[in-house]
Amino acid sequence: MLVYRVEHKDTHRGPYSGKHIVNSMANCHNNDFERWPTPYYDGISVRYFKPHRYGFDSLDKLRSWFYGYLGVLNDRGFIIVVVRIHGNSVKRGEKQVVYDPTKGKIVNKLELKGN
């Protein structure tokens, strides 16, 4: 399957950690668990892969999750990384996925465009 992940083009860290964090987005997402649930509240077991990364099983879900912040993320150096990964190395929630990055291969990198 393909997983779509937002990460910084240089540090490869997600938008919720590291020096490139978008504080306004992180604060907003931390205050509405119905729209942006934690993996546990999204139906993903608390036992993740080690190491693990977060992503989405479609571009539409990624764009919906980050709606309103895509331009800011782009300006701060974030991109969309497309990873091909075997299904048994992915745990799916309703809105997001958790996957084992050691079991995947980056097949494409896309610019963040839109709102």
Which position has the higher pLDDT, 112 or 36?
Answer: 112
- 50-99 pLDDT, tens digit per residue, is 788 999 999 999 999 999 889 999 999 999 999 999 878 999 999 999 99
3-state secondary structure 1-51: CEEEEEEECCCCCCCCCCCCCCHHHHHHHCCCCCCCCCCHHHCCCCCCCCC
Question: For the chain, what's the residue count?
Answer: 115
User: Measured between alpha carbons, how far is 20 from 96 in angstroms, rounded to an integer?
Assistant: 21
Q: What is the pTM of this model?
A: 0.88
Q: What is the reported pLDDT for 49?
A: 67
Retrieve residue 90's tokens: 């992915």
User: Measured between alpha carbons, how far is 77 from 41 in angstroms, rounded to an integer?
Assistant: 29
